[in-house]
Amino acid sequence: MDLISHLPALQVIVPMLSAPIIVLLHPRGLAWAGATLAALVSFAISIALAVAVLGGETQTYAMGGWPAPFGIALSVGGLSALVLLVVTGAAAIALLAARPSIDQQIELERQPMFYSAWLLGLAGLAGIVVSADAFNIFVFMEISSLASYVLIAGGPDRRALLAVFKYLIMGTIGATFYLIGVGLIYMMTGTLNLADMESRIGDVAQTRPVLVAAGFITIGLALKAAVFPLHVWLPNAYTQAPHMITVFLAACATKVSIYVLIRFDYMVFQPTMAEHDNQFALFLMPLALLGILVASAVAMFEGNIKRLLGTSSVAQIGYIMLGASFISLAGVEASVMHIFNHALAKGGLFLAVACIAYRFRDLRIQELGGVAKTMPFTCAALVLCGLSLIGIPGTAGFISKWLLITASLESGPFGWIFVAVILVSSLMAVVYIWRIVESLYFGGSANRDTVIAEAPLQLLVVTWIAALANLYFGFFPEVPLALADNAAGVLMGYGK
């Protein structure tokens, strides 16, 4: 076997096997360097994978050489490749910039374990994405969850502990619900392989255990993905986590759960369940709409800048769910694109926040008056990513919002309602981004005795890379669009 065919496996095992080595790297900075190297290598692997599947083919890998329903199979298609790019990209970018901020927040002797947990989180998320086996997804979900509990518990405030405890309880309930659902499907089909499940579920699709399984899997994954109203753990966890961890998790953690949800709902349940449309139309779509409106509205009144952005993530997850619930090619494509673009925008925003947090400990918005005078570059990057989050033409965020609006209009006579919701919530996004910008640029500067300067170069450069990526993918969205198009085709092709 050549290297290319090993790529799906390498995607997971490079970060996973690096993690135990990182624990042993004690001298200063070495753990960071090792972790960053591993993350960069896996980012390179995901780029190679994306190139390999750009043409529309799927790369599969039989773990241990055993054929598919008996052994564990990995498969990487357009959708997985795009999500992999997001996951590994977020990890690589955040790790590149992490050192100054992490040095400030985590004691030196605990850092090797921290970076090791970070790599395990990356390996877990990548493992979920490449896996084509329902139970294997559970195992890697647990690796990534445990790792993210550890990472969030690194937050310096004591409230971080409470936030992470809540997250642990919610996350475990979500994962166990997923496990119950998988068990029920296994009971009725006798297989764990997703493709095999799909072909065998047809005979039993209308039996009660499968219907209940669909419910359990949807609720379990919705809990993990923080779909409204199961999002209560998210704002606290994101606010209290170390700043660089917020960058990493906000960009990719919940998206991976959504990815699994979409995969299950479109590939396993879709072809056989007559109620499938209803499931989306009656449950997920209203939740998505409510989530968009309520979370955007709440975000307008949040005081802490990290909490504000975390709450806004719940609304953005609503957009992704809304696109998926149209059950149309355009809708799914918009949804997949938004996974990518929101990661760019939110990752960039949290990076900028991390820059600010490096100099200012208090992140309440009214305390940040006039920061732009001392940190002009950071604030400019923040504005750029903010524009992308709102969806101003020329930024990446615009592409997916535009796709979403087109898909809404195509979705039927009530399409204008969805368009209205999207527009209203975009206006709300303008309001909450403006609150930050107003404070940063025009707020009265409080008396600060400490020397305030621009953020360290390492942080700043990476922040600007992320900000410019928002611009770049606003003007040249061809590659992610091709992957999303490919993904939507595959997902919808199963149904029709």
Partner 1 sequence: MIFVFSLFLLSLLIIIAIAIVQAKNLFVSVMLLSIFSLLMATNFFILDAADVALTEAAVGAGITTVIFLSALALTAQRERKVVGGRTIALIAVGVLASLIIYATFEKPRLGDPNAPVHQHVAPWYLEKTPEYIDIPNIVTAVLSSYRGYDTLGEVFVVFTACIGVLFILGAKPASLRGERNVERAGLRHHLIPQVVGRLLVPFIVLFGLYVQFHGEYGPGGGFQAGAIIATGVILYALLEGEAAALRAIPRSVLLGLVVGGALLFGGVGVVCMFMGGAFLDYSVLQSDPVWGQQLGIVIIEAGVGMAVCGALLSIFHAFAAREIAQ
Partner 2 sequence: MKLLELLGYYNYWVFAIALVIGLYAVISKTNLIKKLIGLSIFQSAVFLMYITMDKVEGGTAPIIKAGVEDQIYSNPLPQVLILTAIVVGVSTLALGLAIVVRVNERYGTIEESEILESD
Task: Kindly state the smallest distance separating residue 216's Cβ from partner 2, in Å.
Answer: 10
Name residues whose C-beta falls within 8 Å of residue 295's C-beta, 6 or more positions apart in sequence: 228, 231, 311, 312, 314, 315, 318
Partner whose footprint covers residue 168, from partner 1, partner 2, none (CB < 5 to 8 Å by kind):
partner 2
Partner whose footprint covers residue 116, from partner 2, partner 1, none (CB < 5 to 8 Å by kind):
partner 1
Name residues whose C-beta falls within 8 Å of residue 412's C-beta, 6 or more positions apart in sequence: none
Partner whose footprint covers residue 165, from partner 1, partner 2, none (CB < 5 to 8 Å by kind):
partner 2
Task: Kindly state the smallest distance separating residue 165's Cβ from partner 2, in Å.
Answer: 5
Task: Kindly state the smallest distance separating residue 19's Cβ from partner 1, in Å.
Answer: 7
Nearest residue (CB) to partner 1, 13 versus 41: 13
Pairing of strands 73-76, 59-62: antiparallel
Task: Kindly state the smallest distance separating residue 161's Cβ from partner 2, in Å.
Answer: 5
Q: How far apart are CA 126 and CA 70, in angstroms?
A: 22
The token pair that represents 294 in the structure block: 């309520």
Partner whose footprint covers residue 173, from partner 2, partner 1, none (CB < 5 to 8 Å by kind):
partner 2
Nearest residue (CB) to partner 2, 160 versus 330: 160
Nearest residue (CB) to partner 1, 205 versus 345: 205
Nearest residue (CB) to partner 2, 146 versus 329: 146
Return residues touching partner 2 (CB under 8 A).
135, 138-139, 142, 146, 149-150, 153, 158-159, 161-162, 164-165, 168-169, 172-173, 176, 179-180, 183, 186-187, 192
Task: Kindly state the smallest distance separating residue 153's Cβ from partner 1, in Å.
Answer: 5
Partner whose footprint covers residue 326, from partner 2, partner 1, none (CB < 5 to 8 Å by kind):
none
Partner whose footprint covers residue 471, from partner 1, partner 2, none (CB < 5 to 8 Å by kind):
none
Q: Residue 484's closest CA among 407, 388, 419, 412?
A: 407
Nearest residue (CB) to partner 1, 149 versus 340: 149
Amino acid (1-letter code) at residue 10: L
Task: Kindly state the smallest distance separating residue 337's Cβ from partner 2, in Å.
Answer: 34
Nearest residue (CB) to partner 1, 15 versus 348: 15
Q: Residue 87's closest CA among 33, 143, 130?
A: 130
Q: How far apart are CA 66 and CA 84, in angstroms?
A: 24
Q: Residue 54's closest CA among 487, 397, 403?
A: 487
Task: Kindly state the smallest distance separating residue 188's Cβ from partner 2, in Å.
Answer: 10
Nearest residue (CB) to partner 1, 189 versus 425: 189
Q: How far apart are CA 271 and CA 41, in angstroms?
A: 38
Q: How far apart are CA 22 and CA 20, in angstroms?
A: 5
Exposed / middle / buried, residue 389 (Cβ in 10 Å: 0-12, 13-18, 19+): buried
Partner whose footprint covers residue 16, from partner 2, partner 1, none (CB < 5 to 8 Å by kind):
partner 1
Task: Kindly state the smallest distance separating residue 126's Cβ from partner 2, in Å.
Answer: 18
Partner whose footprint covers residue 189, from partner 1, partner 2, none (CB < 5 to 8 Å by kind):
partner 1
Q: How far apart are CA 27 and CA 34, in angstroms?
A: 11
Return residues touching partner 1 (CB under 8 A).
1, 6, 9, 13, 16-17, 19-21, 23-24, 61-66, 69-72, 109-110, 113-114, 116-117, 120, 123, 127, 135-136, 139-140, 142-143, 146-147, 149-150, 153-154, 184, 186-192, 200, 204, 207-209, 211-212, 215
Task: Kindly state the smallest distance separating residue 170's Cβ from partner 2, in Å.
Answer: 10
Nearest residue (CB) to partner 2, 100 versus 174: 174
Partner whose footprint covers residue 424, from partner 2, partner 1, none (CB < 5 to 8 Å by kind):
none
The angle, 0 to 180 degrees and rounded to 10, between the axes of the packed helices 329-359 and 376-390 is 160
At which residue do the structure tokens 């496996």 appear? 9
Partner whose footprint covers residue 158, from partner 2, partner 1, none (CB < 5 to 8 Å by kind):
partner 2
Nearest residue (CB) to partner 1, 56 versus 183: 183
Task: Kindly state the smallest distance separating residue 204's Cβ from partner 1, in Å.
Answer: 8
Torsion of the alpha carbons at 490, 317, 255 and 184, rounded to the nearest 10: -70
Nearest residue (CB) to partner 2, 13 versus 146: 146
Q: Residue 293's closest CA among 124, 442, 423, 487?
A: 423
* Angle formed at CA 118 by CA 116 and CA 120, multiple of 5 degrees: 70
Task: Kindly state the smallest distance separating residue 209's Cβ from partner 1, in Å.
Answer: 5
Nearest residue (CB) to partner 2, 122 versus 153: 153
**465 to each of 96, 137, 243, 416, how far by Cα in Å?**
11, 32, 18, 37
Exposed / middle / buried, residue 420 (Cβ in 10 Å: 0-12, 13-18, 19+): exposed
321 alpha-carbon distance from chain centroid: 13
Task: Kindly state the smallest distance separating residue 322's Cβ from partner 2, in Å.
Answer: 29
Amino acid (1-letter code) at residue 249: L
Name residues whose C-beta falls within 8 Å of residue 288's C-beta, 6 or more positions apart in sequence: 227, 228, 318, 319, 321, 322, 325
User: 3-class SS at 58?
Assistant: coil
Partner whose footprint covers residue 489, from partner 2, partner 1, none (CB < 5 to 8 Å by kind):
none
Q: Where are the alpha helices (DSSP H) in 226-367?
A: 233-240, 243-263, 276-278, 285-300, 305-325, 329-359
Q: How far apart are CA 97 and CA 455, in angstroms?
A: 11
Partner whose footprint covers residue 63, from partner 1, partner 2, none (CB < 5 to 8 Å by kind):
partner 1
